[in-house]
């Protein structure tokens, strides 16, 4: 039955990976590829992320450089980046789309920090829901006689411990992101 707790931990890891991806999309004062690579682009009737239409790179101090593989997609990529509400100024030339990050104002930084906190709270809620579901599964197994009382309490304790560790990891991730935004 240890596989039950391991399965729960795998679910928590997936939630943390999702949080990590979402936090990468939150803008900081420094450009990075994760800021734009998952923005959806309408390309010949399909919706594709930028990373499937070209290679994304960073040119310090404030430029993101996208080398689009199909010249016909340059206008679509530029339009998608402009509409992404990241405050980017975008220009396309040849097969290249350049996106410039303006300096963040203090108000905009606060908005992004608040948004990062909201994403983290949504993940915490998902973790708590997951914990409740797994505790119900453990209780059902105990009620069906597949787990003894001692095993039930041990599993519930391990689930709670994994939940607390995940909460600490969420807090660490959001604090790192907030530090990036404020610098």
The structural domain count of the chain equals 2
Res 1: pLDDT: 52
**Quick one: residue 67, left, alpha or beta (phi over 0 = left, psi -120 to 50 = alpha)?**
beta
> The tokens of 102 are what?
């303006």
pLDDT digits (tens, 9 = 90+) for 53-86: 999 988 887 888 999 998 888 889 988 988 887 7
Q: Report the C-alpha gap between 61 and 140 in whole angstroms.
A: 56
Q: Which of 56, 63, 58 is nearest to 39 (CA)?
A: 56
Choosing from 84, 100, 116, the residue where a domain stops is 100
User: Are 93 and 39 members of one domain?
Assistant: yes
**With contact defined as beta carbons under 8 Å apart, do 138 and 155 qualify?**
yes
**With contact defined as beta carbons under 8 Å apart, do 70 and 60 qualify?**
no
Residue numbers of the chain with a pLDDT score lower than 50: none
Query: Which residues form the domain of 57?
Result: 33-100
User: Are 174 and 137 members of one domain?
Assistant: yes
> pTM surpassing 0.75?
no
For position 75, which CATH number holds?
3.30.1360.40
User: Are 51 and 78 members of one domain?
Assistant: yes
**Phi, then psi, of 45 in degrees rounded to 5:** 80, -5
């Amino acid at each position: 039955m240890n596989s039950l707790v391991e399965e729960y931990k795998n679910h928590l890891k997936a939630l943390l990976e999702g949080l990590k991806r979402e936090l990468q999309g939150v803008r900081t004062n420094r450009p990075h590829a994760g800021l734009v690579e998952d923005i959806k682009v309408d390309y010949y009737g399909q919706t594709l992320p930028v990373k499937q239409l070209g290679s994304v790179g960073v040119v310090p101090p404030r430029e993101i450089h996208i080398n689009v593989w199909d010249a016909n997609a340059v206008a679509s990529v530029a339009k998608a980046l402009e509409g992404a509400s990241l405050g980017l100024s975008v220009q396309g030339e040849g097969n290249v789309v350049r996106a410039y990050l303006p300096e963040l104002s203090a108000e905009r930084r606060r908005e992004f920090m608040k948004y990062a906190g909201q994403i983290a709270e949504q993940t915490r809620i998902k973790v708590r829901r997951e914990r409740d579901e797994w505790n119900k599964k453990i209780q059902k197994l105990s009620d069906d006689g597949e787990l003894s009382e001692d095993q039930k309490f041990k599993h519930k304790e391990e689930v709670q411990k994994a939940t607390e560790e995940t909460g600490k990891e969420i807090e660490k991730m959001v604090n790192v992101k907030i530090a990036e935004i404020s610098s």
